[in-house]
Amino acid sequence: MMYLIGENLNIMSVTYGKALKEKNAKPLQQLAIQQAEAGMDWIDLNIGPSGKIGEELMAWLVPVVHEVVDLPLALDTSNIKAIAAGLKAHKKCRPLINSIMVRPERMEALLPLAKEYDADFVALLWGPEGMPRDENERGALCSELVYKAESEFGIAPDRMYVDPIQTPVSVQQGQIMSCLEFMKMLQDIAPGCRSTIGLSNVSNGPPDHLRPILNQVMLIILKRHGLYSAIVDCFDKKLHDIAKDKHPELEAVVHKVEDGEAIDESKLSKEELDYVKTAKVILGHKLFSESWLEV
């Protein structure tokens, strides 16, 4: 069973981005209700960097959303003042800071806030030199952040949601393997820490109608590697059902691909066959192309 963070309230969205800029509460509250009904465990509030207005925007948005739902909110911005304002305004359950990167200036500014508000936070494995190149660099970044949070700030491991960074299958398939290798090590490196990931990035690039199956199969694979939660499309019901253990048959067929077991494709349903093909491109058994389901 995995926990889910709804990603759809996002400044990049045409509809909700406009509502955020105009401070039009209605569509944002409708979306929040939809996310709660869809079974999300958090609602992500992605306001982008938002510059000078970030602080005021987050301080407005948190109570607006909490007026209609009781879920904890993920404060998703690189704007430190906006995070602080969001934490202050967050009166229901425990907020989630999304995210703290493994960069000195980010850690120095945000870890004290996490401690002060007893907040959860996403420990994003993004270092001073950007994206880690492999599982070992992920491991090094993870240790650095977790150690600092625990030893200097006394933050408990279960407050930390380590994000090993999802890359698109269409451009960086090799990085998906590093991410999975890192997940195997996570509990040794950072015992008791939780984890999360921006799942939809796996399908960044391919056309919209092909994105759900990539997200779904990626989730199955990550789930098996112990991922605790994921930031996901709140409208993908199938994906939520997979997260909540309702499709063991699809999980089984993906696991077979991962384990290199022989699969009699003639005995599979169309859906299972599509899952097999998708697992093969995600795991690098086959090279990805946008027609991967047709070949």
Partner 1 sequence: MAFQPSKQVYSGQIREVTLGVGDKAVVIGGKAAYPFHSFEGSIPHPPKVAMEIWDKDPTEDWCAAAKEPFKDVLADPAAWAKKCVSEFGAEILVVQTKSADPNADNRPADQVAETVKKIVEAVDVPVVVWGVANHEKDTEVMRAVAEKCTGKRLALSPVEDGDYKQIGAACLGYQHIVVSSSPIDVNLAKQLNILLGNLGVNSKDIVIDPTTGGLGYGLEYSYSVMERIVQAALTQEDEKLQQPIIANVGNEVWKSKEANLSAEDAPQLGDPTQRAILMECITAVDLLLAGADVVTLRHPESVKRIKGFIQKMM
- What is the torsional sign of CA 63, 65, 69, 73? negative
CA atoms lying within 13 Å on the CB side of residue 270:
1
Q: Closer to partner 1 by CB, 148 or 286: give it.
A: 286
Q: Closer to partner 1 by CB, 34 or 170: give it.
A: 170
Stretches 5-13, 74-82, 184-192, 284-292: which one binds partner 1 (CB under 8 A)? 284-292
Question: How many residues sit close enough to partner 1 to count as binding (CB under 8 A)?
Answer: 11
Task: Specify the residue for token string 């002060």.
Answer: 116
Answer for which of 88, 92, 225, 286 binds partner 1 (CB under 8 A) is 286
Answer for which of 1, 12, 14, 287 binds partner 1 (CB under 8 A) is 287
Give yes or no for residue 262 binding partner 1 (CB under 8 A): no
Give yes or no for residue 291 binding partner 1 (CB under 8 A): yes
Least distance (Å) between residue 266 CB and partner 1? 20
Binding mask 25-64 for partner 1 (x = CB under 8 A): ----------------------------------------
Give yes or no for residue 295 binding partner 1 (CB under 8 A): yes
Binding mask 157-186 for partner 1 (x = CB under 8 A): -------------xx---------------
Least distance (Å) between residue 206 CB and partner 1? 10
Least distance (Å) between residue 279 CB and partner 1? 15
- Report angle CA 247, 253, 257 to the nearest 5 degrees: 140
Least distance (Å) between residue 69 CB and partner 1? 40
Q: Closer to partner 1 by CB, 78 or 172: give it.
A: 172
CB 178 within 8 A of CB 262: no
Q: Enumerate residues 107-146 that contact partner 1 by CB under 8 A.
A: none
Task: From 122, 115, 113, select the one nearest 85 (Cα to Cα).
Answer: 113
Task: Specify the residue for token string 């949070």.
Answer: 149
Least distance (Å) between residue 260 CB and partner 1? 14
Least distance (Å) between residue 218 CB and partner 1? 16
Stretches 32-40, 54-62, 83-91, 279-287: which one binds partner 1 (CB under 8 A)? 279-287
User: DSSP letters of the chain?
Assistant: --EEEE---BTTSHHHHHHHHHT-HHHHHHHHHHHHHTT-SEEEEE----GGGHHHHHHHHHHHHHTT----EEEE-S-HHHHHHHHHH--SS--EEEEEESSHHHHHHHHHHHHHTT-EEEEE--BTTBS-SSHHHHHHHHHHHHHHHHHHH---GGGEEEE-----TTT-HHHHHHHHHHHHHHHHHSTT-EE--BGGGGGSSS-GGGHHHHHHHHHHHHHHTT--EEEE-TT-HHHHHHHTT--HHHHHHHHHHHTT----GGGS-HHHHHHHHHHHHHTTSS---TTTTT-
Least distance (Å) between residue 217 CB and partner 1? 17
Q: Enumerate residues 86-105 that contact partner 1 by CB under 8 A.
A: none
Give yes or no for residue 290 binding partner 1 (CB under 8 A): yes
Give yes or no for residue 294 binding partner 1 (CB under 8 A): yes
Q: Closer to partner 1 by CB, 262 or 295: give it.
A: 295
Task: Please give the Cα distance from 97 to 100 (Å, whole number).
Answer: 7
Binding site for partner 1 (CB under 8 A): 170-171, 285-291, 294-295
